[in-house]
């Protein structure tokens, strides 16, 4: 039985989208039990439309909801212990739930998650990992916005956490990991990136296959299973990719409606266009994972529809079922043990 805490008030549409999304996830995973946190007047009318969901859930009424434009500090100050978002995160901390899912304000969700759950041992800063569609399938990119700027150790932490997520989500025994850089040559890039690459290579961890440096075009190619960067670059890359997908979709719509022959051609090619639309739909790969915390938190896109929110719940389900947290802890302990061994002075040389 996997227990999932859900913030019903998150996102652009609140319970009107979140509740149907949760119901869809329950259809796919009947072994889920939900703890639903919401404002009673807005949530219960939606829940009553889904009797099976009500039977598999516990509803917890809350006092306030964090809005999408609240500043993180404001949300933390006014929403602590009272908001739907805080209560959902707190359920993970107390052990009532295995994972929290919210489509709410990203900054507020990260601030509350970090304050409530704290970071794991040996983790300085958490990261947000996104599932990225590629020509080969899917890969993981992190950080996409939690940490602006990162030193070598933080990039190493991201690499191990991303690899653990790939093992949990894609069930890959030894994921390939690449550091995003301005070139693939070892002499290129910032010192922090070059130092992180050297240390990962030296550690030779059995849980990941370090590929080396990758460039921006490798994101879409799916060159590696996990692409690691700091949050500023990662967030820009994510927003650029989303914008490019919408731009291409707009071009196609305009081209297909220009002339009568184009409209006729669209009818014959509709199957191919539907496949392309599905591949480019961000909702199909919805669900950013907060990594490095003492608990699992999933961030759904604020504008996701019911199917998109269900996809975010699916990600949380897979992270719990495949032991994401224990995988990260194991890899971190192994890395620090190996690094200590490599940096320890040789007994024979120290006695000379």
- Cα–Cα distance for residue pair 166/176, rounded to 1 Å: 9
pLDDT for the residue numbered 352? 42
Give me the CATH code for the 124-291 domain, please. 3.40.718.10
What tokens were used for 156?
């190493």
Q: Which CATH architecture has domain 1-120+294-322?
A: 3-Layer(aba) Sandwich (3.40)
Mean pLDDT, contiguous 10-residue spans, the chain (352 residues): 94 92 95 95 94 94 89 83 92 95 92 92 88 87 87 90 89 91 83 90 86 90 93 86 76 76 71 64 74 93 89 92 87 78 57 44
- What is the 3-class SS of 64-133, one letter each residue? ECCCCCCCHHHHHHHHCCCEHHHHHHHHHHCCCCCEEEECCCHHHHHHHHHHHHCECCCCCCCEEEEEEE
Q: How many residues does the chain have?
A: 352
Find all residues with CB under 8 Å of 301, minimum gap 6, and list them.
11, 103, 282, 283, 286, 308, 312
Do the domains 1-120+294-322 and 124-291 sit in the same CATH topology, yes or no?
Answer: yes
Determine the Cα–Cα distance for residues 102 and 297; give it in Å rounded to an integer: 8
Q: What is the pLDDT of residue 350?
A: 46
Domain residue ranges in the chain:
1-120+294-322, 124-291
Q: What is the pLDDT of residue 349?
A: 45
Instruction: Tell whether the torsion through CA atoms of 46, 57, 295 and 317 is positive or negative.
Output: negative
The predicted pLDDT at position 170 comes to 86
């Amino acid at each position: 039985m996997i227990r999932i805490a859900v913030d019903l008030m998150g996102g652009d549409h609140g319970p009107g989208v979140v509740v149907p999304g949760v119901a869809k996830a329950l259809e796919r995973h009947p072994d889920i039990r939900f703890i639903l946190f919401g404002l009673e007047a807005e949530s219960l009318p939606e829940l009553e439309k889904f009797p099976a969901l009500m039977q598999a859930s516990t509803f917890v009424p809350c006092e306030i909801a964090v809005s999408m434009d609240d500043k993180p500090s404001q949300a933390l100050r006014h929403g602590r212990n009272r908001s739907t978002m805080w209560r959902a995160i707190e359920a993970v901390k107390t052990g009532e739930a295995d994972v929290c899912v919210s489509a709410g304000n990203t900054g507020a969700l990260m601030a509350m998650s970090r304050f409530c759950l704290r970071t794991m041992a040996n983790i300085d800063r958490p990261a947000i990992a996104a599932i990225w569609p590629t020509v080969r399938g899917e890969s993981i990119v992190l950080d996409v916005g939690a940490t602006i700027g990162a030193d070598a150790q933080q990039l190493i932490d991201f690499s191990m956490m991303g690899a653990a997520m790939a093992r949990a989500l894609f069930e890959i025994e030894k994921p390939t990991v690449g550091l995003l850089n301005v070139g693939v040559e070892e002499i290129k890039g910032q010192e922090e990136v070059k130092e992180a690459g050297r240390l990962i290579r030296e550690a030779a961890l059995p849980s990941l296959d370090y590929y080396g440096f990758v460039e921006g075009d490798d994101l879409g190619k799916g060159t590696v299973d996990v692409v690691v960067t700091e949050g500023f670059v990662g967030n820009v890359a994510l927003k650029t990719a989303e914008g490019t997908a919408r731009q291409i979709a707009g071009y196609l719509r305009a081209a297909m409606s220009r002339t009568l022959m184009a409209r006729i051609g669209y009818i014959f090619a509709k199957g191919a266009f539907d496949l392309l639309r599905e591949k480019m739909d961000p909702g199909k790969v919805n669900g950013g994972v907060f990594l490095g915390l003492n608990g699992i938190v999933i961030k759904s896109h604020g504008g996701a529809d019911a199917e998109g929110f269900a996809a975010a719940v699916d990600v949380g389900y897979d992270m719990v079922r495949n032991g994401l947290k224990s995988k990260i802890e194991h890899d971190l302990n192994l890395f620090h043990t190996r690094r200590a061994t490599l940096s320890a002075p040789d007994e024979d040389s120290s006695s000379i």
